[in-house]
Amino acid sequence: MTKTVLTGVLGAAVLALGASTASAATLDDVKAKGFVQCGVSQGLPGFSNPDADGEWSGMDVDLCRGIAAAIFGDATAVKFTPLSAKERFTALQSGEVDVLSRNTTWTMSRDTQLGLNFAGVNYYDGQGFMIRTDMNINSALELSGASICTNTGTTTELNVADYFRANNMEYELVAFEKADEVVAAYDAGRCDVYTTDQSGLYAQRLKLTDPGAHKVLPEIISKEPLGPVVRQGDDQWFNIIKWVHNATLNAEELGVTMDNVEEMKESDNPAIRRLLGTEGEFGTDIGLDNDWAAKAIAAIGNYGEIFDRNVGPDTELAIGRGVNALWSQGGLQYAPPIR
Amino acid sequence: MIDRTNVTAPPENTGPATAFVRGEMLAEQPAPITESGPIGWIRTNLFPSVPQAILTLFCLYILYLIVPSIIRFLFVDAVWTGTDRTVCATEVQGGVRAPGWFGACWAYVGTYTNQFIYGRYPDEEQWRVNIAGFLFFGGLIPLLIPSVPFKRENLIFMVLIVPVATLILLTGGNFEVGGMILPLAILTAIALIAVFGFSKGAQSDPIPGLITTAAIFAGIFIVLGVLAVDFGLERVETEDWGGLLVTMVIAVTGIAASLPLGIALALGRRSDLPIVKFVSVVFIEFWRGVPLITVLFMSSVMLPLFLPEGVSFDKLLRALIGVALFSSAYMAEVVRGGLQALPKGQYEGAMALGLNWGQMTRMIILPQALKLVIPGIVNTFIGLFKDTTLVLIIGLFDFLGTIQSSYTDPTWSSPVQSMTGYSFAAIVYFIFCYAMSRYSMFMERQLDTSHRS
């Protein structure tokens, strides 16, 4: 008697679970719930960072807003889940977030072993060094014997080891758990060099007692292409993320901005007409409206605008375009055409 | 008091032979200044002997080195108003302060106060948190003051109404409970049959037991029904909770769950029933043997992988369960200490009065045992309150986590930003923990029956 009842309860429980697991394509799920669930960092200035009112801003955040705008025509139809570096892939794999836009470095192992796909590169980063100006050092190759401050448990530690070994130099590592502690230690003179991703160096410089007395060395010792990540096995969703990013790049190349996107729809340039959906059926192929890109650009602007607004020279971070300039201006940002 | 009537006054002008005899009583003198007043206090407490005097001077020197600079940082040189980092940075850092300036940036804490308390809880919904907080403290404070009447009603309010009301207010209510009705109905039937069968076996009247069981399940159904009601409140996901709100939710849930669970486990561990004892021992030793960080990590990283895709437990709920189970294991050991400290005579006396196990435990054993271990219990509470900061590593923003996450805001980035934030966190945590500690000392005095053995 008890046994049958128990089996019945278990059966009911399993049925209840089973009903909710039948998952459709991500786009259908997203449309059904009415918003995009976007995994972001717990706070990285310029990429994904909440302000005093809890409003998120940054390049990674803007990409998610662009995706929401392309799907719903509403850039606010997005919810952000702050994720630690350790949890981020699990959160994506388990379906807790629809897209991970969290300054994640595209590496082969992550791309091939985790069941994930990288949909593009929205920021080319690389590890750099910051030193005191009065040390009179102009190249990372002169750093032999230096003590180096960095975070524990990240690839920066390994990159330093690789770089110094490859160049036959001695070094002493001073590692801390938190970015604050690293900056404080470097500022207090406990080490000669501070190393992390270059975008991070610019952000942390604001916390130094005398920012003018420090400079960033020109060498970049690692490749850190950062981009959005999706689950493998849903090509439609993968394409949507990939092409929202590509649309912002194409828009910058074609001179389409947040402000002129409406008038550009009437442009004679066929590339612009295809981008903004005045010509062709490119939106329907990925399950969206034909003016998907126009909606995204109207919400977040083109890549140049996104860059300038979040990390560009007029922000506190003051990072130059560098390798993140368009290919036509000597950078690496290059998007396939829409045709 | 001197009885002056017995003192014979010496005769006048009796010559030099008795001149040394005093003619009148001396008035009472105040104690010498070296033995009383501030100087006396300093002498007896700070400089009673040479080694002690050296120690005192040494400590005073250390305090002289530390305290003035702390006060200067926190108050004298602190910045109280401003809108961005320039007010909290020196000129070389791109601000307006003179070179060498070093003070707390309270202006930054000021702009962030709302986020430190509510996290990213939507502004227009924050009144719900306020009401929940008001209900909680409004019910807690009278409960803690011994002279306030209606303790029983107050307790029922705190145990039944406040949790449900808080849950609905904070999340928005309107829960999907349809799937739970059938299993719960089956469970009710099983429980009723079990109670009926048990009392038949014991040849006692089954009616009171059946009524109690039915009342408990009816209560559960009512709570479920209330949770399912749509009050028209907008849903606020726990991801948007943060700050002091999350700290309080985790700490209060942990404290409220760990005390009853801990008592049950402690009694279970002391039980003569082998299975109950075995289960209690295994539970306690398992949860005590695992670090809290591991528990939290397992709940946030591993658990989602075991569940089928699309099924996700709320992250905060996972942390709450982990913290509650973890702290109840510690609580069980504290309570067991109290149970073991009671003389065997208390048990024997209770049994000699003809009390059964339940009555003995409720009326004789637990009141004494719990009173003995108040310091240990409060110690566990304080530890739990501070341990809530560990949820930071699984991506929940508690009070400290919210403060830390604000460090990345370039609008306020400056060398003093993190020091100000940590100072603020220390002050707030100290207020809560010190209040708990003082209340526990007050309770010890209240319940002190001076039965010292």
ipTM for the whole complex: 0.70
Rounded distance, CA B170 to CA B127, Å? 10
Confidence of residue A27 (pLDDT cuts 50, 70, 90): very high
pLDDT at B364 exceeding the cut of 70: yes
Whether B126 is covered by a domain: the verdict is no
Cα angle B128-B133-B134, degrees, rounded to a multiple of 5 = 95
CA distance B163 to chain A (A): 26
Residues from chain B contacting residue A79 (CB–CB below 8 Å)? 237, 239
Rounded distance, CA B177 to CA B179, Å? 6
Rounded distance, CA B322 to CA B98, Å? 49
Residues from chain B contacting residue A93 (CB–CB below 8 Å)? 304-305
* Inter-chain CB proximity B301 and A180 less than 8 Å: no
Whether B305 is covered by a domain: the verdict is yes
pLDDT of residue B290: 92
CA distance A88 to chain B (A): 9
Whether B324 is covered by a domain: the verdict is yes
Provide the domain limits for residue B315: 100-121+240-453
Question: B433: helix, coil or strand?
Answer: helix
Whether B373 is covered by a domain: the verdict is yes
State the DSSP code for B362. I
pLDDT of residue B18: 65
Q: How many CB pairs under 8 A join A and B?
A: 138
Q: Write down the mean pLDDT value for chain B.
A: 87
DSSP per-residue codes, B47-61? -SSHHHHHHHHHHHH
A47, A103 Cβ separation under 8 angstroms: yes
Query: Which has more confidence, B80 or B451?
Result: B80
Query: Which has more confidence, B314 or A228?
Result: A228
What residue of B is the nearest CA neighbor of A11? B183
CA distance A291 to chain B (A): 31
Question: B425: helix, coil or strand?
Answer: helix
95-114 in B: which are within 8 Å (CB) of A? 111-112, 114
**Count of domains forming chain B:** 1
Residues from chain B contacting residue A210 (CB–CB below 8 Å)? 92-93
Whether B116 is covered by a domain: the verdict is yes
Can you tell me the mean pLDDT for A171-175? 90
What strand order describes the sheet that includes A171-176? Answer: A171-176, A146-151, A193-197, A127-132, A214-216
CATH of the domain at B447: 1.10.3720.10
Q: What is the pTM of this model?
A: 0.79
Residues from chain A contacting residue B112 (CB–CB below 8 Å)? 52
Whether B376 is covered by a domain: the verdict is yes
Q: Which domains does chain A have, with CATH numbers?
A: 25-124+224-329 (3.40.190.10), 127-216 (3.40.190.10)
For chain A, strand residue ranges (E) read 36-40, 49-50, 56-57, 78-82, 99-105, 116-118, 123-125, 127-132, 146-151, 171-176, 193-197, 214-216, 224-231
Residues from chain B contacting residue A211 (CB–CB below 8 Å)? 92-94
* Inter-chain CB proximity B308 and A17 less than 8 Å: yes
In this structure, how many other beta carbons lie within 10 angstroms of the beta carbon of residue B81? 8
Can you tell me the mean pLDDT for A232-259? 95
Q: Residue B312 class from Cβ within 10 Å (0-12 exposed, 13-18 middle, 19+ buried)? A: middle
Confidence of residue A21 (pLDDT cuts 50, 70, 90): very low
pLDDT at A20 exceeding the cut of 50: no
352-381 in B: which are within 8 Å (CB) of A? none
B280, B269 Cβ separation under 8 angstroms: yes
Nearest to B129 by CA among B112, B115, B143, B111: B115
A257, A300 Cβ separation under 8 angstroms: no
**What Cα–Cα distance (Å) separates residue B157 from each residue in A147, B220, B256, B317, B362?**
61, 16, 14, 23, 22
pLDDT of residue B265: 95
Whether B128 is covered by a domain: the verdict is no
Whether B320 is covered by a domain: the verdict is yes
Closest in B93, B186, B190 to A211, CB measured: B93
* pLDDT tens digits, A271-317: 999 999 999 899 998 999 999 999 999 999 999 999 999 999 888 88
What is the percent of chain B with per-residue pLDDT over 70, rounded to a whole number? Answer: 94
Confidence of residue A152 (pLDDT cuts 50, 70, 90): confident
B67: which residues sit within 8 A by CB, 6+ positions away? none
What residue of B is the nearest CA neighbor of A4? B186
Supply B372's token pair: 């003995």
